[in-house]
Amino acid sequence: MVTISVELPEGVFSALRQTPDQFVKEMRLAAAVKWYELGLLSQGKAAEVAGLSRSGFIDALSHYHVSPFQYTADELAEEVALAE
Protein backbone atom coordinates (compact mmCIF):
# COMPACT_ATOMS: atom_id res chain seq x y z
CA MET A 1 0.00 0.00 0.00
CA VAL A 2 1.24 3.49 -0.85
CA THR A 3 0.47 6.49 1.34
CA ILE A 4 -0.09 9.87 -0.30
CA SER A 5 -0.23 13.12 1.64
CA VAL A 6 -2.54 15.91 0.43
CA GLU A 7 -2.69 19.38 1.93
CA LEU A 8 -6.15 20.95 2.18
CA PRO A 9 -7.42 24.09 3.91
CA GLU A 10 -8.89 23.28 7.34
CA GLY A 11 -12.16 24.96 6.43
CA VAL A 12 -12.94 22.42 3.72
CA PHE A 13 -13.94 19.79 6.28
CA SER A 14 -16.40 22.01 8.10
CA ALA A 15 -17.79 23.29 4.78
CA LEU A 16 -18.48 19.69 3.74
CA ARG A 17 -19.55 18.70 7.26
CA GLN A 18 -17.11 15.80 7.21
CA THR A 19 -14.24 14.63 9.31
CA PRO A 20 -10.88 14.21 7.53
CA ASP A 21 -11.41 10.42 7.53
CA GLN A 22 -14.88 10.77 5.98
CA PHE A 23 -13.49 13.18 3.39
CA VAL A 24 -10.71 10.77 2.36
CA LYS A 25 -13.19 7.90 2.04
CA GLU A 26 -15.51 10.02 -0.11
CA MET A 27 -12.64 11.34 -2.22
CA ARG A 28 -11.39 7.80 -2.93
CA LEU A 29 -14.88 6.72 -3.94
CA ALA A 30 -15.50 9.78 -6.14
CA ALA A 31 -12.16 9.31 -7.91
CA ALA A 32 -12.79 5.60 -8.46
CA VAL A 33 -16.29 6.25 -9.84
CA LYS A 34 -15.03 8.92 -12.24
CA TRP A 35 -12.09 6.82 -13.44
CA TYR A 36 -14.47 3.88 -13.96
CA GLU A 37 -16.94 6.12 -15.82
CA LEU A 38 -14.11 7.29 -18.12
CA GLY A 39 -13.12 3.68 -18.79
CA LEU A 40 -9.72 4.09 -17.14
CA LEU A 41 -10.34 1.42 -14.48
CA SER A 42 -12.22 -1.87 -14.42
CA GLN A 43 -14.92 -2.41 -11.81
CA GLY A 44 -12.54 -4.55 -9.78
CA LYS A 45 -9.72 -2.00 -9.76
CA ALA A 46 -12.11 0.88 -9.12
CA ALA A 47 -13.58 -1.02 -6.17
CA GLU A 48 -10.05 -1.53 -4.85
CA VAL A 49 -9.28 2.21 -5.14
CA ALA A 50 -12.56 3.00 -3.36
CA GLY A 51 -11.82 0.48 -0.61
CA LEU A 52 -15.02 -1.46 -1.35
CA SER A 53 -16.00 -4.92 -2.50
CA ARG A 54 -16.97 -5.11 -6.16
CA SER A 55 -20.66 -5.45 -5.25
CA GLY A 56 -20.34 -2.48 -2.87
CA PHE A 57 -18.78 -0.44 -5.66
CA ILE A 58 -21.59 -1.36 -8.05
CA ASP A 59 -24.09 -0.21 -5.42
CA ALA A 60 -22.15 3.06 -5.01
CA LEU A 61 -22.31 3.71 -8.77
CA SER A 62 -26.06 4.22 -8.53
CA HIS A 63 -25.52 6.99 -5.94
CA TYR A 64 -23.45 8.84 -8.57
CA HIS A 65 -25.88 7.95 -11.40
CA VAL A 66 -23.17 6.00 -13.26
CA SER A 67 -24.09 2.85 -15.13
CA PRO A 68 -22.30 -0.33 -14.06
CA PHE A 69 -22.09 -1.27 -17.74
CA GLN A 70 -19.24 0.07 -19.87
CA TYR A 71 -20.93 -0.58 -23.21
CA THR A 72 -22.61 1.95 -25.48
CA ALA A 73 -25.94 0.93 -27.00
CA ASP A 74 -24.21 0.27 -30.34
CA GLU A 75 -21.51 -1.89 -28.72
CA LEU A 76 -24.13 -3.88 -26.84
CA ALA A 77 -26.17 -4.43 -30.03
CA GLU A 78 -23.01 -5.60 -31.79
CA GLU A 79 -22.21 -8.05 -28.97
CA VAL A 80 -25.75 -9.45 -29.11
CA ALA A 81 -25.58 -9.80 -32.90
CA LEU A 82 -22.28 -11.67 -32.64
CA ALA A 83 -23.71 -14.00 -30.00
CA GLU A 84 -26.63 -14.98 -32.25
Enter the pTM of the model.
0.80
For residue 8, tell me if it sits in a domain.
no
For residue 6, tell me if it sits in a domain.
no
> What pLDDT shows up at residue 11?
86
- Domain count for the chain, please give it: 1
For residue 4, tell me if it sits in a domain.
no
> What pLDDT shows up at residue 26?
93
Residue 39 near residue 70, CB atoms below 8 Å: yes
- Cα 69 to Cα 46: distance, rounded to the nearest angstrom: 13
For residue 7, tell me if it sits in a domain.
no
> What pLDDT shows up at residue 43?
94
For residue 32, tell me if it sits in a domain.
yes
- Cα 74 to Cα 28: distance, rounded to the nearest angstrom: 31
For residue 5, tell me if it sits in a domain.
no
Average pLDDT of adjacent 10-residue blocks, the chain of 84 residues: 88 86 93 96 96 96 92 81 86
CA distances from 5 to 20, 30, 45 (A): 12, 17, 21
- Cα 45 to Cα 53: distance, rounded to the nearest angstrom: 10
Longest dimension (CA), the chain: 58
For residue 11, tell me if it sits in a domain.
no
For residue 27, tell me if it sits in a domain.
yes
